[in-house]
Amino acid sequence: MSAFPPYAFSGSQFRVSRRGFIGGAAAVAAAIPAAPLWAQASSGTGDVVAIGLSGKQVTLTAADIKDLRAAISGQLLLAQDGGYDQARRVWNGAFDRHPALIARPANTAEVARAVSFARAHGLLTAVKGGGHSISGQSTCDGGMMIDLGQMKDVQIDKAARTAKAQGGVLLAEIDSKTQEVGLVTPLGTAADTGIAGLTLGGGQGRLQRTFGLSCDNVRAYEIVTPDGKVRHVTAKQNPELFWALRVGGGNFGVVTNFEYQLHPLDHPVLAGTRLYPYDQARSLLNAYFDLSLKAPNELSMSAGITVMTPGSPVPPGKYAAIEVIYSGNPADGEKAIAPLAKLGKPILDGVTAKPYVLAQLGATGAAPPALPAGLGFYVKSGFFNTAPDALVNEIMHVSDNAPAWFAGIGMGLLGGAISRVKPEATAYWNRMSQWDVLLFGVWSDHTQDEHNAQTLRGLWKGIDPFTKGYYVNTEPSESEQRLRGTYGDNYARLAQLKKKYDPDNLFRLNANIRPQSKA
């Protein structure tokens, strides 16, 4: 798993989802500001003022809009249209942006028309799959959003052990269908996450040590590249794109279909979270790192510090926590985690044998969304290979001195099947990393969005020297140095492919590899 997600509660069950240790924070509806002038049709003309790739205004005429609307049987939404305000929103309420137009294609051909329109007019372009968007990059101000939310088809071939899913599908939607036939593909850890963004960023999840990353299990992609062409991508057909889409995917176009390899998993898994007093945090972290080095590939674990809020089954405050999932026989899993007994009896123990789909559920304890949309959320993350006392000291220092809206900090165990793939075999470079660390904040006051994000960046400064590279699905790309640490020796090849397929950098709202960058 990638670091530590927020806790989820359902009756006596206590478990965790992907997004950081946030215990049941209540949603606060964000104020809806009036749409900016550039996102409104000009009075009397029907023209729309948008933002181009250069940052300058672009005028889309009424005829342009009419032509695009005729080319898409799905919706084309402008600011004054019903459904626009709902469609423009993403899960992370810290990003309250207003695209000039939102295209909601019904199929791949319509995605191609939308991409061709964006390219022809030089529009700033965002792509929204499931709308999870922790980094906020699936939306934009003034540009064009291509929303795949209407493309939801999932087809399972039990005999071939494959699943085909369109770009708007959520994790829960494919997990439920694969588990109906006793199969699974490794995805993320929050049921309301979209498969597209998750997979194109690598796809870290609860089964990664057993079956690899999500991207390792893709057998074929269907992608609309910036030139508007639809390409079928496999290891043999368009092999250079097949290589690049495994963690560099957002840079090369809109992936409309994924074909995943499936694996047998028709039994309960041992999964859940144990919660301990905060004063045991240092002991828990040390025990976690020790056990990590001996863990079998069937065992994935996250550990760290979480903040529980009012309404949780424990008093509000900071706690030490560990989440486990064992993909093999639950009895063997009990033996694998037996060393944790030295920590003593936990305050809450949700580690039990349960169906995999139950282990994957979010904080509602029943179905997506795992957390209420609209809260402000920010994450910093990084990969690391050693866990010295100095790192544990810094983690404790950050937690001891964090603001009231601090949500948690967690470490996720990597390795296993991830590390069996050579770093140069896919664009995902950090194959040899042992862990990753995620620092979380969550809040409801959107007047503090930028201030709180800056505060988290400040807290991260003490942790950053221990890391190299980061999980691209967690945060906006903020520096060339961090990108190079993420893509490593693969950066030069990715930059060359970016220049070949997207020389104008149409798809830049991602962990962006600029085509003009010197490799």
For residue 43, give the CATH number of its domain. 3.30.43.10
Q: What is the CATH number of the domain that holds 223?
A: 3.30.465.10
Cα(512)–Cα(304) distance, rounded to whole angstroms?
Answer: 30
pLDDT in tens, 369-411: 445 668 999 999 999 999 999 999 999 999 999 999 999 999 9
103, 128, 147 - which closes a domain: 147
| pLDDT for residue 143 is more than 90 | yes
Residues 290 and 419 in one domain: yes
- Tens-digit pLDDT profile for residues 507-518: 999 999 999 655
On whether both 314 and 249 belong to a single domain, the answer is no
In a domain, 510, yes or no: no
Question: Whole domain around residue 214: which residue ranges?
Answer: 154-265+494-501
Task: Determine the residue type at 157.
Answer: D
What DSSP line would sit under 317-346, residue for residue? EEEEEEEEEE-S-HHHHHHHTGGGGGG---
Of residues 33 and 275, more confidence is placed in: 275
Q: Is residue 486 in some structural domain?
A: no
Strands 144-147 and 101-104: parallel
pLDDT of residue 310: 86
Both 260 and 279 in a single domain?
A: no
Closest CA to 395 of 516, 490, 304, 475: 304
Q: Is there a single domain that holds both residue 283 and residue 411?
A: yes
Q: Residue 183 above 80 pLDDT?
A: yes
Distance CA 434, CA 201 (A): 18
CB of 208 within 8 A of CB of 1?
A: yes
| Euclidean distance between CA atoms 228 and 254, whole angstroms | 10
Question: What would you measure as the largest C-alpha separation in the chain, in angstroms?
Answer: 74
Distance of CA 77 to the CA centre of its chain: 26
Would 511 be classed as within a structural domain?
no
- Identify the pLDDT of residue 2: 52
In the three-class reduction of DSSP (H, G, I as helix; E, B as strand; rest coil), residue 12 is classed as coil
Residues 279 and 403 in one domain: yes
Neighbours of 116 (CB within 10 A): 17
Same domain, 395 and 257: no
| Assigned domain for 506 exists | no
Q: Which two tokens stand for residue 293?
A: 């080095």
What 3-state DSSP class applies to 255? strand
Distances (CA, A) of 171 to 26, 125, 176, 310, 364: 23, 24, 8, 28, 15
Write out pLDDT tens, residues 104-136: 999 999 999 999 999 999 999 999 999 888 888
Q: Are residues 311 and 220 in the same domain?
A: no
At residue 301, what are phi and psi to the nearest 5 degrees?
Answer: -145, 150
Determine, yes or no, domain membership for 518: no
**pLDDT number for residue 212:** 98
Residue 279 counted as domain residue? yes
- Average pLDDT score over the chain: 89
Could you tell me which residue, 503 or 34, shows the higher pLDDT?
Answer: 503
Our count of domains for the chain comes to 3
Provide the whole-model pTM.
Answer: 0.91
Contacts of 419 (CB under 8 A, 6+ apart): 431, 432
Distance (Å) of CA 343 to CA 6, 31, 346? 22, 45, 8
- What span, in angstroms and rounded, lies between the C-alpha atoms of 355 and 114? 40
What was the pLDDT predicted at 30? 31
221 and 310 belong to one structural domain: no
Average pLDDT over residues 236-253: 95
Instruction: Report the C-alpha gap between 220 and 433 in whole angstroms.
Output: 26
Query: CA 415, CA 187: separation in Å to the nearest integer?
Result: 16
Q: Do 206 and 139 share a structural domain? A: no
* C-alpha distance from residue 496 to each of 54, 119, 235, 477, 514 (Å): 22, 20, 19, 19, 10
Last residue of a domain, one of 147, 168, 185: 147
Final residue before a domain boundary, out of 125, 147, 169: 147
Residue 278 shares a structural domain with residue 381: yes
Question: Do 104 and 187 belong together in one domain?
Answer: no
> Domain containing 381 — which CATH number?
3.40.462.20
How far the first Cα of the chain sits from its last, in Å, is 31
Residues 16 and 133 in one domain: no
